[in-house]
Amino acid sequence: MPDYVKKLIVEPGSKVKLRDFDPDYHGKFVSRDAALPEIQTHIQKMDRLQYRMYAEKKHSLLIVLQGLDASGKDGVVRHVIAGMNPAGCKVADFKPPTAEELRHDFLWRVHAHVPGKGDVAIFNRSHYEDVLIVRVHKLVPEKQWSKRYDQINDFERLLAGDNRTTILKFLLHISREEQLARFKQRLDDPDRQWKISEADYQERACWDDYMDAFEDMLRKTSTDHAPWFVIPANHKWFRDLAISQIITRSLEDLDMKFPKPTVNLADIARKYHEAEEQGAGEK
């Protein structure tokens, strides 16, 4: 099995051209059915590792999902992240900022959603909107958004250092043809029509501008403490395979341990047996 951590990572400081990444790549597998056992194995491991993180409460995990409309961000949450225990996992969707949020710095609304020790947080879109859509649509001057790359790096360094947060950032990379095919699926499927938005087609017209913005984002903010991964996402099942493997291997590297009991186990066992005998005598 290829190591997708090494294959798909954006090395810090590297110059990225998304045209060099094949969104149709699917590794050695040729279908979802062929890849499904591997995906399920990773998801089962993720569940166990998250349980250990929740118990140990020394580490946290932040997963950032970015990509154009219909690239599969919701699908990752539904098919990969859903394998984790909801008790220690939360999803934050970052919509256009409210009037209150706009009164603060751009990271103000984000910080409240980062994971505490023992927890997992998933950002479905994120603070990176402030160097993507803000840039493409010229919502603030360039001299303002261009400073945000360093501010984001400092913010993520704080999370990684002070809160032992593992940060994994995934750019879901699809082709223009695949995006249009998914838009058609939404039109044809009554269960998906609720997702249709005028904005989908407005944003599609800015495709090249978004590619430029993505490339700068990857080059300037993929770091050792918070790496970006470019995920070929034309095949939804490969997207799930690659992301689940990267999450699993990153959690395994933390070498987490269950905490030791805080009680005297022999004493508790004695009390249990006494209660068991008392219960048997009452029957």
Q: From CA 20, how far away is CA 231, in angstroms rounded?
A: 12
pLDDT at 279: 73
Q: What is the pTM of this model?
A: 0.94
Does residue 231 sit in helix, strand or coil?
Answer: strand
Q: What's the domain range around 111?
A: 4-281
Q: From CA 224, how far away is CA 167, in angstroms rounded?
A: 10
How many other C-beta atoms are found inside a 10 Å radius of the C-beta of residue 209? 15
Bridge partners of 228, per DSSP, are: 169
Tally of domains in the chain: 1
pLDDT at 251: 97
pLDDT at 281: 67
Burial profile 35-52: b = 16 or more Cβ within 10 angstroms, e = fewer: beebbeebbebbeebbbb
pLDDT one digit per residue (tens) for the chain, 283 residues? 689 999 999 999 999 999 999 999 999 999 999 999 999 999 999 999 999 999 999 999 999 999 999 999 999 999 999 889 888 999 999 999 999 999 999 999 999 999 999 999 999 999 999 999 999 999 999 999 999 999 999 999 999 999 999 999 999 999 999 999 999 989 898 888 888 888 888 899 999 999 999 999 999 999 999 999 999 999 999 999 999 999 999 999 999 999 999 999 999 999 989 888 887 767 6
pLDDT at 48: 96
The CATH number of the domain where 204 resides is what?
Answer: 3.40.50.300
Burial profile 168-207: b = 16 or more Cβ within 10 angstroms, e = fewer: bbbbbbbeeebbeebbeebeeeeeeeeeeeeebeebbeee
pLDDT at 283: 63
pLDDT at 192: 86
